[in-house]
Structure 1
Amino acid sequence: MDDLPEWQKLMLNALAAGKFEDAVEFKKPYLPKKLYKYREITLATLDNIVENRLWASTPASFNDPYDSGVGIIKNSLHRQDTYWTNWLEEKSIGQYIADEDLKSIFDSSNRLEALERHIRLKYPIAPPIIYDLINMRHQIEKIVLDLNRRCKESINVCSFSAVNDSFLLWAHYANDHKGICVEYDLPNYQPHDMDGRRLFPVIYSSELFDASDFEQSKYLPLIASIYKHSDWSYEQEWRYIDIINPLSPGRYFYLNKCSAIYFGSRTTLDQIDTTFRLTKIAHNVMSYRMINDNTKFGLSAKSTSELGIL
């Protein structure tokens, strides 16, 4: 967490301490004025725009298997010296391992795995201690898997981006540049605005989220859901996060009316016409088309009226 911006550290520490209101205040100045949602053009997409609603779902359905997952409890369990000392004495582990080897095992990030590996190498015919180790490892893995499941099932998430000109986002989420990017204007964010308060920045890291310092926080699922691998940093993602009743696998919510629609550079004129007419009637939104730059890699938005499309 040392390499994070100071405001993100403060936000995370506030959530860890259960101080949601403080976390909201720390991230409030950094909330983008506009957020964007990349979508394929479907009847469901158009209906949601007309009805001014968005769908938040559990991370279990997302395209990243690590999304909202945790590498938690494992490290803290492995590194509880008092627990380990008592367990080693109970199992008389000294008869199997020399003191210098035991020290290297204690220094390992995964003591159970290191201990099991050492004993297996030294004793091809496994002594009873091996089975104790295997059982313990299985119990820990079960705890971690169950905690991952509960974290993913206890929140609903809707993803946005702070940018509307990402080649990769257009390719991945807007049907290879044949879809749309919906703009939501957030200039009037207020402290009492519940949906605005539920918008959080994604924190990108090369390490799997280890919640050892957060495991007592009631906001653990929320904290886990804003960590993603740094490979995803191009998305510049913000998330609407709703901590829910586990019986609710997803729900509609209402942010602000969309303020503009951007059509992909490969969107057909018929799709543009249909989408524009439906959304124009509903919200009187501005519309643009993304244009490929001819002098460099890049996309720019031009008004459909300027292009003579509508």
Structure 2
Amino acid sequence: MSPRYLYKYRPFATACDIERAQRIVCDSRIFFAPPCSFNDPFDSRPAFTFEAPVDEMKAYYRRLCARRVPHLTEHEVEAEIERIFADPDTDLRAPQGQSRIQDLHSRALGQEVGVLCLSSVRDHILMWSHYADCHRGICLEFDAGTDFLSRARPIGYEESRMLINPFRDRDEEMAEKTFLMKAAHWHYEGEWRLIRYGGPGEEAFTPAALTGIVLGALASEDTERRVRAWAREHETPLRLARAYPDQQAFRLHVRALED
């Protein structure tokens, strides 16, 4: 089931950090990041397997030709397949071909895909530490039921890497294994993602999708003043709150800020 709210942790350390946060709150525009910027070297960098009989490989290349060069005749397609198999740089049975396809895949990710990473939790100590400037930043609250977040999908956390087999996996399966699978170590993040197939960049959303802002436990008075000023500019009311460390246990409490 989808959570009621999804959260975006944001740092507040640099002028760029503050500007991006302001654009989210005041301009209703949010940045979809390139996968190459992620802090996990396995994230969106899938592993491949190329195991398949030759007739299955040829069927894959025929489908590829039909999509990319539909004007070719059947004879021309077969000739193109033979050329692919004869060249180690394109033959996926050869190490050179396998390495090349993985490099092309990685480069395409940086140019063709942007990702918005969100969390289903707003009070996780490590999330504040890693993504919100060591508890000095903010956490933005979004209504998960709005149209803007209708495309959000949960991350699957796995003990072993999911292998992509280009000869057998459908496009949807390859996309899921690439963008929606992470190591089990990251399960605490409770991550959900929106994928933008147009490259990294900003995307507009309905102002009502943003419903609140939580200040970190170590957020400064200046940060609070900025956030309050932004909230007054927002088209719809925003719930403002602050995280507080528990006095006896390793946990955070989120309490509403007084006007």
When normalised by structure 1's length, the TM-score is 0.63
Out of 246, 253, 256, the position equivalent to 1:300 is 253
Matching of residue 169 in structure 1 with residue 127 in structure 2: yes
Find the residue that maps to 1:36 and give its secondary structure.
strand
Matching of residue 185 in structure 1 with residue 143 in structure 2: yes
Matching of residue 225 in structure 1 with residue 179 in structure 2: yes
1:134-149 equivalent positions in 2, closer than 5 A: 136-149=94-107
CA contact (8 A) 1:151 1:224 kept: no
- Measured after TM superposition, the shift of residue 152 of structure 1 is 5.0
When residues 158 and 145 of structure 1 are mapped into structure 2, their CA distance, relative to the original with a 3 A threshold, is same
Report the structure number with the largest CA radius of gyration: 1
| Structure 2 CA distance for aligned equivalents of residues 81 and 278 of structure 1 | 60
- Measured after TM superposition, the shift of residue 265 of structure 1 is 0.7
| Cα-to-partner distance string for 1:207-231 (whole Å, 9 max, x where unaligned) | 2221228854233335410111111
- Measured after TM superposition, the shift of residue 185 of structure 1 is 1.6
Partner of 1:240: 194
| Structure 1 CA distance for aligned equivalents of residues 107 and 160 of structure 2 | 19
Partner of 1:270: 222
Find the residue that maps to 2:94 and give its secondary structure.
helix
Partner of 2:152: 199
| Structure 2 CA distance for aligned equivalents of residues 175 and 296 of structure 1 | 22
Partner of 2:3: 32
| Structure 2 CA distance for aligned equivalents of residues 235 and 177 of structure 1 | 15
When residues 81 and 214 of structure 1 are mapped into structure 2, their CA distance, relative to the original with a 3 A threshold, is closer
Partner of 2:242: 289
- Measured after TM superposition, the shift of residue 81 of structure 1 is 5.6
Pick the structure with more helix per residue.
Answer: 1
Runs of 4+ in structure 1 over 4 Å off: 213-216
- Measured after TM superposition, the shift of residue 149 of structure 1 is 3.1
When residues 301 and 249 of structure 1 are mapped into structure 2, their CA distance, relative to the original with a 3 A threshold, is closer
CA RMSD of aligned residues (A): 2.3
- Measured after TM superposition, the shift of residue 151 of structure 1 is 4.4
Pick the structure with more strand per residue.
Answer: 2
Out of 35, 54, 68, the position equivalent to 1:59 is 35
Find the residue that maps to 2:219 and give its secondary structure.
coil
- 1:225 counterpart letter in structure 2: F
| Cα-to-partner distance string for 1:263-304 (whole Å, 9 max, x where unaligned) | 011011221022112223314211111010012110011111
Partner of 1:15: none
CA contact (8 A) 1:37 1:183 kept: yes
Matching of residue 280 in structure 1 with residue 228 in structure 2: no
- Measured after TM superposition, the shift of residue 204 of structure 1 is 0.8
Residue identity over aligned pairs, in percent, reads 25
| Structure 2 CA distance for aligned equivalents of residues 207 and 66 of structure 1 | 11
- 2:126 counterpart letter in structure 1: L
| Structure 2 CA distance for aligned equivalents of residues 161 and 181 of structure 1 | 10
| Structure 2 CA distance for aligned equivalents of residues 141 and 273 of structure 1 | 52
When residues 284 and 82 of structure 1 are mapped into structure 2, their CA distance, relative to the original with a 3 A threshold, is closer
CA contact (8 A) 1:36 1:164 kept: yes
Give the stretch that moved more between structures: 251-260 or 62-71: 251-260
When residues 237 and 81 of structure 1 are mapped into structure 2, their CA distance, relative to the original with a 3 A threshold, is same
| Cα-to-partner distance string for 1:137-184 (whole Å, 9 max, x where unaligned) | 233222223233334543221000000001111011110000000101
Unaligned runs of 5+ in 2: 13-17, 56-92
| Structure 2 CA distance for aligned equivalents of residues 236 and 56 of structure 1 | 18
| Structure 2 CA distance for aligned equivalents of residues 168 and 213 of structure 1 | 36
| Structure 1 CA distance for aligned equivalents of residues 161 and 106 of structure 2 | 12
Unaligned runs of 5+ in 1: 1-29, 84-134
When normalised by structure 2's length, the TM-score is 0.74
Partner of 1:253: 204
